[in-house]
């Protein structure tokens, strides 16, 4: 019969990871995607796993653990996903930003994480092309990079060795339930597949899959655009971003940057990272404009303006293309990794916003622990879907 212990919906980085860890634990698993592997946001993003952009506490704890898991996977997988630990640098434009950064670093160091503030004089030793008038920065040694597209393929290839059934180009159209509401089967565009457990790993589309069983999953698409430079000589050694990026990510309203109207209006904060192919990915921006991934000339101009402010050398480098992706945003900036009490057998691993690449391995591991009814490595009460129950989302 066409049946599996678990059906994972969505072959992005989260669904691929969940499938890998589930098959490793001995489950029979089908992974279904309406497109191919990495059809969604996981092929339209940057490529870093960071702790320096996480809030102190569970956000950093699982982010850090995920980087450790990546290190292990890079050693054990036969598929190379271009993993390396380069570190990352936040740059602070003003003394005020540096003061906020110092407080942030103090909290992270107190929790045991390696991170340090660097002063104005130290910046050129770390990145020599930076503008000379910056106030300082934050350097984090553990921050790592990889090719997210290849990570998805690596997880799937390894999971296939453990029996994974990959079903691509079939959209999940319905989830059939018993009279008591439990999951019984999944209906795709071409077939019915039987299972008692589904994991919704559909990223920004997770809420649509929630609608299929009558639950309201509060995930919204938050767009981000990236410029790709031509291949060029070394500009930076690692991920470099402005501290305002974190303030933009967390919508910090207590701090206001002095930026142009173009940058302000489009919520642009500078990021750059090197690729293995000697191009640079330059970003970034955040807006809520639906599911579309079209590129926008105004946003491109704003990103270039901000990038030139921090790295004047970029004025001489050509941009060869731009692309956009949509982050699966949740209001409290923590993913949903949870079962759903109202629908027995229905699980969610979605809502990672700008951290899905970072958090893919730990999410796969935690979801497998949840499904196996084992204790999870972390207390993940804050990741439960039930945290939204009876709450107005804007008040979370």
Ligand X SMILES: Cc1cc2nc3c(=O)[nH]c(=O)nc-3n(C[C@H](O)[C@H](O)[C@H](O)COP(=O)(O)OP(=O)(O)OC[C@H]3O[C@@H](n4cnc5c(N)ncnc54)[C@H](O)[C@@H]3O)c2cc1C
Chain positions contacting ligand X, by CB under 6 A: 9-15, 32-35, 39-42, 44-48, 171-172, 201-205, 209, 224, 226, 283-284, 325-328, 350, 352-358
Task: Output the smallest distance, CB 125 to ligand X, in A.
Answer: 25
Dist CA 40 CA 123 (whole Å): 36
Q: Is 40 within 8 Å of 13 (Cβ atoms)?
A: no
User: Which is nearer to ligand X, 136 or 284 (by Cβ)?
Assistant: 284
Element counts in the chain: helices (H) and strands (E): 10, 20
Task: Output the smallest distance, CB 114 to ligand X, in A.
Answer: 19
Read off the tokens for 207: 């809420």
Q: Is 208 within 8 Å of 202 (Cβ atoms)?
A: yes
User: Which is nearer to ligand X, 19 or 117 (by Cβ)?
Assistant: 19
User: Which is nearer to ligand X, 135 or 281 (by Cβ)?
Assistant: 281
Q: How far is CA 108 from CA 1, 135, 179, 247, 360, in A?
A: 51, 20, 49, 16, 22
User: Which is nearer to ligand X, 92 or 359 (by Cβ)?
Assistant: 359
DSSP letter (8 states) at residue 307: H
User: Which is nearer to ligand X, 136 or 354 (by Cβ)?
Assistant: 354
Length of the chain as a residue count: 396
Task: Output the smallest distance, CB 390 to ligand X, in A.
Answer: 26
Q: Is 150 within 8 Å of 135 (Cβ atoms)?
A: no
Distance of CA 82 to the CA centre of its chain: 17
Distance of CA 118 to the CA centre of its chain: 27
- Tell which phi-psi region holds residue 293, choosing left (phi > 0), alpha (psi between -120 and 50) or beta: alpha
CA atoms within 13 A on the CB side of 69: 23
Task: Output the smallest distance, CB 58 to ligand X, in A.
Answer: 16
User: Which is nearer to ligand X, 13 or 159 (by Cβ)?
Assistant: 13
Task: Output the smallest distance, CB 95 to ligand X, in A.
Answer: 28
User: Which is nearer to ligand X, 136 or 271 (by Cβ)?
Assistant: 271
Dist CA 396 CA 386 (whole Å): 12
Task: Output the smallest distance, CB 165 to ligand X, in A.
Answer: 14
Task: Output the smallest distance, CB 251 to ligand X, in A.
Answer: 16
């Amino acid at each position: 019969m066409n049946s599996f212990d678990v059906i994972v919906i969505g072959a992005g980085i989260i669904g691929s990871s969940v499938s890998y860890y589930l098959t490793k634990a001995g489950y029979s698993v089908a992974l279904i995607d309406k497109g191919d592997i990495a059809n969604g946001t996981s092929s339209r993003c940057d490529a870093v796993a960071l702790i320096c952009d996480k809030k102190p506490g569970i956000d950093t704890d699982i982010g850090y653990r995920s980087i450790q898991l990546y290190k292990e996977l890079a050693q054990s997988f036969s598929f190379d996903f271009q993993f390396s630990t380069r570190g990352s640098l936040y740059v602070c434009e003003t003394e005020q930003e540096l003061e906020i950064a110092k407080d942030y670093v103090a909290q992270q160091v107190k929790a045991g994480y390696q991170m340090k503030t660097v002063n104005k004089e130290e910046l050129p030793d770390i990145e020599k092309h930076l503008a000379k008038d910056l106030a300082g920065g934050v350097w984090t040694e553990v921050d790592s990079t990889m090719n997210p597209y290849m990570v998805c393929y690596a997880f799937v290839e390894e999971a296939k060795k453990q029996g994974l059934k990959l079903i691509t180009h079939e959209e999940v159209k319905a989830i059939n339930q018993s009279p008591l509401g439990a999951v019984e089967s999944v209906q795709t565009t071409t077939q019915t597949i039987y299972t008692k457990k589904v994991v919704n790993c559909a990223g920004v589309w997770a809420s649509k899959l929630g609608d299929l069983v009558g639950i309201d999953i509060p995930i919204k698409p938050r767009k981000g655009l990236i410029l790709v430079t031509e291949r060029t000589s070394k500009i930076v050694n690692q991920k470099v971003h402005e501290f305002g990026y974190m303030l933009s990510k967390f919508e910090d309203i207590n701090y206001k940057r002095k930026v142009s109207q173009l940058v302000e209006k489009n919520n642009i904060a500078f990021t750059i990272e090197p690729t293995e192919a000697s191009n640079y990915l330059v970003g970034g921006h955040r807006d809520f404009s639906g599911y579309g991934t079209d590129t926008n000339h105004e946003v491109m101009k704003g990103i270039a303006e901000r990038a030139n402010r921090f790295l004047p050398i970029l004025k001489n480098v050509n941009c060869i293309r731009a692309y956009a992706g949509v982050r699966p945003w949740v209001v409290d900036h923590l993913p949903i990794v949870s079962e759903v009490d109202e629908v027995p057998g229905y699980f969610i691993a979605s809502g990672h916003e700008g951290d899905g690449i970072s958090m893919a391995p730990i999410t796969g591991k935690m979801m497998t622990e949840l499904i196996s009814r084992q204790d999870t490595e972390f207390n993940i009460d804050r990741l439960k879907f039930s945290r939204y129950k009876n709450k107005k989302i804007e008040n979370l």
